[in-house]
Amino acid sequence: MSDVAVVHRHGGGAFELPLPVGWEWRENVEGCALIAVEPPRTDEHLRPTLVVTVEPHADEETLDAWTERSLGALADSLHHHRLLDVQPVTVGGREARRALSHYVNRLFGGVCVEQWLVPAGEMGYVVSCTTPALEYDDLFELMHVVAEGLVVA
């Protein structure tokens, strides 16, 4: 695809998306379809991550209702979570939502999490990109390449 990302097809065949070159990745770990992590650096830091989760999505549940439910669960699980923005987007030809949040990691401080929520029939795909707050600008374009490159089979 490019020198910064290469297309990865999930082993179950349900989706594909570009992953940053050199990042470590694993499939089907602790309720996540895919986890990719930036390679370690010499300094102690929060490593940027990409996570794809797949969950049942009822046909009668609207995209906005699912987004609200999903973001509510996120807020319940993160320390000092603040939802900053939610906007409509299109991912792989599908109507979706992009949400930007901030929370506090007790060891590393401020963290940004950007999520793309993409419904596909009875399933909902969430691409979550987590970065240290001070690195958000540096990784913004790469994270968008990944999430906007999601293709659901």
pLDDT digits (tens, 9 = 90+) for 40-54: 988 888 999 999 999
Closest CA to 152 of 26, 54, 25: 54
Q: What are the φ/ψ torsions at residue 61 (nearest 5 degrees)?
A: -80, 125
Task: Give me the mean pLDDT over the 67-82 stretch.
Answer: 94
Judged against a pLDDT cut of 70, whether residue 150 lies above it is answered with yes
**Which pLDDT does position 74 carry in this prediction?**
92
Residues 110-117 have a mean pLDDT of 97
Check residue 2 and give its pLDDT: 61
Structural domains in the chain, CATH included, are 5-152 (3.40.1000.10)
Per DSSP (E only), the strands in the chain are 5-9, 15-20, 24-29, 32-37, 49-56, 82-91, 94-105, 109-120, 123-132, 151-152
> What's the rounded mean pLDDT across residues 25-50?
93
What's the average model confidence in pLDDT over 71-98?
Answer: 95
